[in-house]
Amino acid sequence: MLASNIDLEFDWVKVVWNKYVPSKIAFFHWLAIHGGVPVKEVLHSRHCLPNGLDVTPSSILEFSYDWSNGMGIKASRFWSLIGPASIWAIWIARNDALFNGIYTCWAGVIKCIKFKVFQWLVNAKICESYQFYSWESQPWLLI
C-alpha cells in the first residue's frame, strides 16, 4: 500500500470487516485496498484491456476512506454496507463487460447494490424480506 495521509488516518479494518458484509466480499475489499486485485495496470500488462480504457477507480483505499468518513452517525450502518456492495457490484459488472461482452447499465448496477445490501440486512435480521419495496424507495428508514 502506498504511504499517504490516508494510511495513517484510516481505520480500514473497521470499514472492511463489517459483520453484516459476507466474508467473501469483505475479503475482496481487503484485497483491493492492499493492491491484490488485478486492476487496470495488471489487465493492461495481460493485454486484457485496450490502451486508454479506464474501467477502475484510481484507488480503492481512497474510495473506502472517503466513503467511511463522509457518513453521519445516524446513517453509518446503512452507508457502511453500501460501500462494499458498490465495489462488488462494479467489479462484477466490469468483469462481465471485459470478459463476457455483457454490459450492465448504471441503473442495473444500482439495483444490484440495493438488492445485495437488503439481502445482508435480512440475513442479519435487521429487515424482513417483505420490506423490499420500502427498502428500494427509502432504505434509510428501515435501519
Question: At 137, is the secondary structure helix, strand, or coil?
Answer: helix
Question: What pTM was estimated for this model as a whole?
Answer: 0.63
Residue 51: its pLDDT value, please?
58
Residue 96: its pLDDT value, please?
93
Q: 97: phi > 0 → left, psi -120 to 50 → alpha, else beta; which?
A: alpha
Using the predicted structure, report yes or no on whether residue 7 has a pLDDT greater than 60: no
Residue 100: its pLDDT value, please?
92
Structure confidence by residue, pLDDT tens digits, 70-127: 655 555 666 778 888 888 998 899 899 989 999 999 899 999 998 898 898 888 888 8
Q: Which of 133, 88, 84 is nearest to 142 (CA)?
A: 133
